[in-house]
Structure 1
Amino acid sequence: MLRLNKQRNTLEPEEHHFELKDSEEPNLFRDIFPYDKVPKIPFNYRLNPMNMPEEIWITDTTFRDGQQSMPPYTVKQIVDLFDMIHKLGGKRGLIRQCEFFLYNEKDKEAVRKCMERGYKYPEITGWIRAVKSDFKLAKEMGLKETGILCSSSDYHIYLKLKKTRKQALEMYLDIVRAALEEGMIPRCHFEDITRADLYGFVIPFAKELMKLSRESGIPIKIRACDTMGVGVSYPGAAPPRSVPGIIYGLTHFADVPSECLEWHGHNDLYLAMSNATAAWLYGCSVINGALLGLGERTGNTPIEALVIEYLALRGNDDEIDTTVITDIADYYRNEIGYQIPPNQPLVGSGFNVTRAGIHSDGLLKNEEIYNIFDTTKLLKRPVGVSITDKSGIAGIVQWIDIYYKLQGDERISKDHPGVVKIREWIDEQYAMGRITSVSEKEMVELVNIHLKDVFAGR
């Protein structure tokens, strides 16, 4: 049988029938995941077509997965961050949903307070285990959608749940039916999908969900969870680790609409962002992440990075206020007390700070040489310079220009005798064994001593 692919307007064979492959023993893909060695990346050289959806967006798990990596937020902190997520996502809702735990009174109070804000975006959703008693929590809170944990790898089905694939499938479908009966949108979290049998469990399960969706007239969403962060985006990589392969399998073979498909990645192998972008490119409309990339173990895909990636892919720069990213980072530092790694992209204190003298020399000539974009405009983060033994004369001059906001002819010359004196003092410090950078206070004192004629009255 042939069918017309309406997206590509071509005829394709309708001959792929994937059925549940149940067994008494789990398939742990030991050739790929030997456990006592680094996981392997197999290739089958099948190239999946890029098929980026017309509309793509972001969802947030800061108050669910993100909370699992740090002390719990207070209700006030959750509401404050929720306000900033709303502002960062813009009027059209680039950040479309936030998911919450529902298990204790503080969680419920936070949900109620955020609901009182009355925002269209982000919509508040829940997360529950695949048991009916948990489903009551989402129903009682008046949510329209809830995530349901549907572990998909044999690691979880056999070793954690102590079930067979068939038993797990029936349990998941039972709770999904309960959600549908209440008119609630179920979002099925295919946990550990990058270690799951794509053709023997994932696609057959997804096909059953799509059948229920058609029968009920209610959309059923699937969140593909790279729980261990082992997904890869490389062309020709084979399942279960292939992100393009997973997305293609779900959209093409299981007929999951792109708008009902969501990617949730972890950063265990530094691949969270590249995998998220691949999911978008190959047909997934939704990427799930958390503020600052916080989350279980090495964390989730960072929301702030997804916003920048969205703008790079779509170019809708005028609709998003990226300066909110810096407001969020400052809130974590000053209100929550979280220490952001200085070298963390976009939000770390040293993100756009140069230490090398040759880089400072380039910045003096033209900021664009060593800055990724206008960080002052887009992030309220002027280029910075940290003074060390590597900074040289150029670094010193750059620091002075930035700190004192000097422009044009006001800028200090590298030949100024006072700058040379400051350089000599710094060289002497490090020659005596200093290992820390020169502080702002020290630099101001040096400028007041050696450049007092220039900055008199400042």
Structure 2
Amino acid sequence: MDNRPVYINKHTNLLELEEHIYHLVDAEVPNVYRNLFPYDEVPKVAFNNRVVPHNMPDDIWITDTTFRDGQQSRAPYLPEQILTMYDYLHKLGGPKGIIRASEFFLYSKKDRDAVYKCMERGYKFPEITSWIRANKKDFELVKDIGLKETGILVSCSDYHIFYKMKMTRKECMNYYLGVIRECLEMGVSPRCHLEDITRSDIYGFVIPFCLELMKLQDEYKIPVKIRACDTMGYGVNFSGAVIPRSVQGIIYGLVTNANVPSENLEWHGHNDFYKAVVNSTTAWLYGACGVNCSLFGIGERTGNTPLEAMVFEYAQLKGTLDGMDTTVITELAEYYEKEIGYRVPSRTPFVGRSFNVTRAGIHADGLLKNEEIYNIFNTEKLLNRPVMVAVSNSSGLAGVAHWINAYFQLKEERRVDKNCELVIEVKKWVDEEYESGRVTTITDAELIQCIDGICKKIGVNLI
């Protein structure tokens, strides 16, 4: 007889049958899903056509790992640089604090100096959190600095449990639970980083482990957060795909079967298979309140989910920016280039130099008539980046005119069109360049020099 209780799901207002409790499967040999991950072949995506419902929380947010995962893949930032970027993140997140938290290393004096400088700002958001090794000395460091939360690595796939940690699942779980209990004894909220979750045994290890973590949360009355880490970028958002690769399947299991509250759950994705953004959005749609990102996607190997991408994913899902100041994204890109010496690849959406630059002459003609035809949104308003046209042999008169208007930011009454003498003369020079064998795009510096000479010749002043 099935005597499981029936209860109301407060999110869907539907009666549901309580799931069975999932117990640890203490496997004797590791389950590495060789059928899905044959190392000498491309990983496979399999389907069982089991689908789960959308379950987007009322509130969703972004957390930042620029100063943790982002720093693992590049030269360390200086404390002054971290402070400036932290200020930018605060401004970008807006009055509602959509960028909810930012995590920091604590190991070196330089790391701690950066934390102290940021704490002095007194911002509520982004909340300053840490990432530490799982030992008592590091827990004491977190508490001494005055942080309320820290991330702790709890790798969850058999690849890590058996091959790296040299433990059984039961030994590993007991070790993790002991570490988390030590953290809670210090009064610090643990954020459990479930590393390599997309190659783990979800119902044989992850769900039973998270059920135990939720018991600790009830015992200590301190939030125990879960970060689902797609460490290798294997997650997929396809409906009906099998776990452990199914993002929605993982999130559903954590929320429904492991009783993890949505506000305690976030997704941390990597971009090895170009899916970091869509997988993060999927995590939101199926029950995670948080997605963990880094600026411009800078992170291990192919990088993390770009923070700026999720700002615009948020706006598309919610229908509003909720006060986020997206012009800060452009300011951050300029800061990285001028002060840090890092140039974002030119075709990177929202921040690359060429993301809203068109090179085709027929497109330029359309832009000149109405920029909405070939621009994704009002990039000048939202990013302080007017739409641009690169000048080449295919740009035509319209392309030259548009470049002049955009570069010199000419107001309506002073804008030039393709019949203007200046435009015609510049177009002649461009044609001569390509007739003499040139194959590259005309640079901004070359155009400025050419325009300056023609303006002096015909008596025009664009300034």
Between the aligned partners of 2:232 and 2:462, the Cα distance in structure 1 is 58
Distance 1:373-1:11 versus aligned 2 partners, 3 A rule: same
Corresponding position of 2:85: 81
Between the aligned partners of 1:413 and 1:61, the Cα distance in structure 2 is 46
Distance 1:90-1:457 versus aligned 2 partners, 3 A rule: closer
The one-letter code of the counterpart of 1:203 is I
Conserved in 1, the CA contact under 8 Å of 2:398 and 2:417?
no
Question: How far did 1:185 drift?
Answer: 0.6
The one-letter code of the counterpart of 1:314 is K
Conserved in 2, the CA contact under 8 Å of 1:130 and 1:171?
no
Question: How far did 1:416 drift?
Answer: 4.0
Question: How far did 1:450 drift?
Answer: 4.4
The one-letter code of the counterpart of 1:208 is E
Matched residue of 1:310: which SS?
helix
Per-residue deviation, residues 421-444 of structure 1 (Å, max 9, x unmatched): 433332332233323321223223
Per-residue deviation, residues 309-335 of structure 1 (Å, max 9, x unmatched): 111111333511111111111110001
Matched residue of 2:175: which SS?
helix
Between the aligned partners of 1:64 and 1:139, the Cα distance in structure 2 is 19
Corresponding position of 1:106: 110
Conserved in 2, the CA contact under 8 Å of 1:67 and 1:73?
yes
Conserved in 2, the CA contact under 8 Å of 1:98 and 1:122?
yes
Per-residue deviation, residues 365-395 of structure 1 (Å, max 9, x unmatched): 1011111111111111111121122212221
**1:169-208, aligned counterparts within 5 Å?**
169-208=173-212
Deviating more after overlay: 243-252 vs 9-18: 9-18
**1:411-422, aligned counterparts within 5 Å?**
411-416=415-420, 418-422=422-426
Normalising by structure 1, what TM-score?
Answer: 0.96
Matched residue of 2:347: which SS?
coil
- Indicate whether 1:338 and 2:339 are aligned: no
- Indicate whether 1:269 and 2:300 are aligned: no
Per-residue deviation, residues 65-116 of structure 1 (Å, max 9, x unmatched): 0001110000100111111111111122111111011111111111111111
Question: How far did 1:32 drift?
Answer: 0.5
Deviating more after overlay: 178-187 vs 271-280: 178-187
Conserved in 2, the CA contact under 8 Å of 1:46 and 1:236?
yes
Question: How far did 1:454 drift?
Answer: 6.3
- Indicate whether 1:453 and 2:458 are aligned: yes
The one-letter code of the counterpart of 2:389 is V
Deviating more after overlay: 381-390 vs 259-268: 381-390
Corresponding position of 1:351: 355
Deviating more after overlay: 149-158 vs 416-425: 416-425
- Indicate whether 1:24 and 2:28 are aligned: yes
Deviating more after overlay: 24-33 vs 429-438: 429-438
Per-residue deviation, residues 25-67 of structure 1 (Å, max 9, x unmatched): 2111111111111111111101110010011111111110000
Instruction: Tell me how large the CA RMSD over aligned residues is.
Output: 1.6
Between the aligned partners of 1:93 and 1:187, the Cα distance in structure 2 is 19
Matched residue of 1:187: which SS?
strand
Q: Which one of 236, 243, 250 corresponds to residue 240 of structure 2?
A: 236
Per-residue deviation, residues 174-226 of structure 1 (Å, max 9, x unmatched): 01111111221111000010111111111111111011111221111000000
Conserved in 2, the CA contact under 8 Å of 1:239 and 1:245?
yes
Distance 1:216-1:413 versus aligned 2 partners, 3 A rule: closer
Normalising by structure 2, what TM-score?
Answer: 0.95
Matched residue of 2:170: which SS?
helix
Structure 2, unaligned runs of 5 or more = none
Matched residue of 2:458: which SS?
coil
Question: How far did 1:166 drift?
Answer: 0.9
Question: How far did 1:284 drift?
Answer: 0.4
Conserved in 2, the CA contact under 8 Å of 1:448 and 1:455?
no
Between the aligned partners of 1:17 and 1:181, the Cα distance in structure 2 is 27
Distance 1:453-1:54 versus aligned 2 partners, 3 A rule: same
Deviating more after overlay: 255-264 vs 379-388: 379-388
Conserved in 1, the CA contact under 8 Å of 2:157 and 2:196?
yes
Corresponding position of 2:70: 66
- Indicate whether 1:402 and 2:406 are aligned: yes
Per-residue deviation, residues 211-259 of structure 1 (Å, max 9, x unmatched): 1111221111000000011101111111010000000000000110000
The one-letter code of the counterpart of 1:324 is V
Between the aligned partners of 1:441 and 1:128, the Cα distance in structure 2 is 48
Between the aligned partners of 1:369 and 1:198, the Cα distance in structure 2 is 46
The one-letter code of the counterpart of 2:38 is P
Corresponding position of 1:93: 97
**1:4-403, aligned counterparts within 5 Å?**
4=7, 5-317=9-321, 319-403=323-407
Between the aligned partners of 2:115 and 2:413, the Cα distance in structure 1 is 55
Q: Which one of 6, 12, 33 corresponds to residue 3 of structure 1?
A: 6
Give the percent of matched residue pairs that are identical in Structure 1 and Structure 2: 58
Matched residue of 1:319: which SS?
coil
Per-residue deviation, residues 143-192 of structure 1 (Å, max 9, x unmatched): 11101100011111111111111111111100111111122111100001
Between the aligned partners of 1:149 and 1:318, the Cα distance in structure 2 is 32
Between the aligned partners of 2:66 and 2:215, the Cα distance in structure 1 is 32
Conserved in 2, the CA contact under 8 Å of 1:190 and 1:225?
yes
Between the aligned partners of 2:422 and 2:129, the Cα distance in structure 1 is 60
Between the aligned partners of 1:447 and 1:141, the Cα distance in structure 2 is 58
Conserved in 2, the CA contact under 8 Å of 1:2 and 1:11?
no
Matched residue of 1:415: which SS?
coil
Matched residue of 2:54: which SS?
coil
